[in-house]
Chain A
Amino acid sequence: MTLITETEPQSFVLLRLGDRRFAVSANQIAELVAPSRIFRFPHHTSEVEGVILRRGRIVPVCDVAEKLIGKGLKSRRFYLIAQRRYGAQTEWVALPVTGDCELINAEMTLPSDTDAPHVSGWLSHAGDVIEVLNLAALTPGPGEIALTAAPLPPQEARP
């Protein structure tokens, strides 16, 4: 017998990467924006392409397509700005997506032990079975620091 644990209906944002759709819990989404200029500078975190400026904030752009569909995106239609938690701190990350996003209500099936760490659950929607993404497992971050870091307010420049 297979035990399927479903939760109460929740809101999810469906995003498209190439031919596939994925879901993120709607309460983790800040906004959907048109692609803007990416500012690049030297660094060694390969999952981060660069940063964009959005509402005065500097937001890292993380292309998660390589991990999810096995290839990076050649074109992108929007950036889905999501809230990524690092311990007690929350920061925005921009996820490039290739198509329109959709807000749905659905019941999530909890993941099994055999699911990949980036899967926080499953949805059944319009005949598709869709992975709900765990952004903490999908986007980079200093793991050990994240658990202990206190929230950092934006720094004022020192004279």
Chain B
Amino acid sequence: MRPLSPTPKTPAARSEQIILFRVSGQIFAVSSASVQEVRGVDSLSGAAKEISHPGLRKVKHFVRRGENSVYVVNAAMHFGLPPAPPALVFVLRRTRTALLIDGIEKMTSMTRLQALPLAFCHEERDWYRGLTALDQTVVPVVKPDGFLTPEELFLLDASLSQEAEAKREAERNAQDEPDTSITQ
């Protein structure tokens, strides 16, 4: 009797877990491993502080996380989509970005990520890791660090520093002012 020969196995395609999410009716994907937290926008309202920079309208809030400030990016404004009321926030791992989105469509996996065709030659090359085909549709897979460029982070950090300095200055001035209240 001959021993059974091992059945040749085709190597299983590697897959990556992704979250499909909605922004103004458009579906995007992000790697599950890139999402540190998913929170409701209401849960942010206590912790988030306002920030405004004229050149960065997509960022209106930030959250302090230890030593760092995490900036809350409105995904609809980032992608130039019509505004829609966001319901969820993705806190993105290894970035200083929290992303406002409309909702999660589903979690699934992809086995193939096609590089963005070279015909796309503007900012979108920084936005997307590539495209994936799922159920006969094409979904762009976002780069977690593509929502804020290093230059934008620099501007936001500088804006926060200026605000903090202005606040300290105002407090010093208030302490230095003579008490002009009239007592009778």
By CB atoms of chain B within 10 A, which of A43, A44, A140, A143 has the most? A43
- Closest Cβ of chain A to B115, distance in Å, is 5
Interface presence of A80 (CB below 8 A) = no
Q: Which of A103-159 contact B (CB under 8 A)?
A: 139-143, 145-146, 149, 152, 154-159
Given contacts A51-B131, A59-B117, A159-B15, contact A154 B138 (CB under 8 A): no
- On whether the beta carbons of B16 and A43 are closer than 8 Å, the reply is no
- Closest Cβ of chain A to B93, distance in Å, is 14
Interface presence of A42 (CB below 8 A) = yes
**Of B112, B118, B131, which is within 8 A of A89 by CB?**
B118
Q: Which of B46-54, B62-70, B120-128 forms part of the interface with chain A?
A: B120-128
- On whether the beta carbons of A45 and B111 are closer than 8 Å, the reply is no
**Hey, what's the 0/1 contact readout for A89-108 against B, CB within 8 Å counting as 1?**
10101000000000000000
- C-alpha spacing A48/B120, complex, angstroms: 7
- C-alpha spacing A42/B78, complex, angstroms: 10
Main secondary structure, interface of B, reads mixed
Nearest 5 pairs between A and B by C-beta?
A: A157-B16, A44-B122, A43-B124, A42-B79, A39-B138
Given contacts A44-B124, A60-B119, 20 further A-B contacts (CB under 8 A): A41-B139, A41-B140, A43-B123, A43-B127, A53-B133, A53-B138, A60-B117, A91-B118, A139-B119, A140-B121, A142-B121, A154-B113, A154-B114, A154-B115, A155-B113, A156-B13, A156-B113, A157-B16, A157-B111, A159-B15
Interface presence of B161 (CB below 8 A) = no
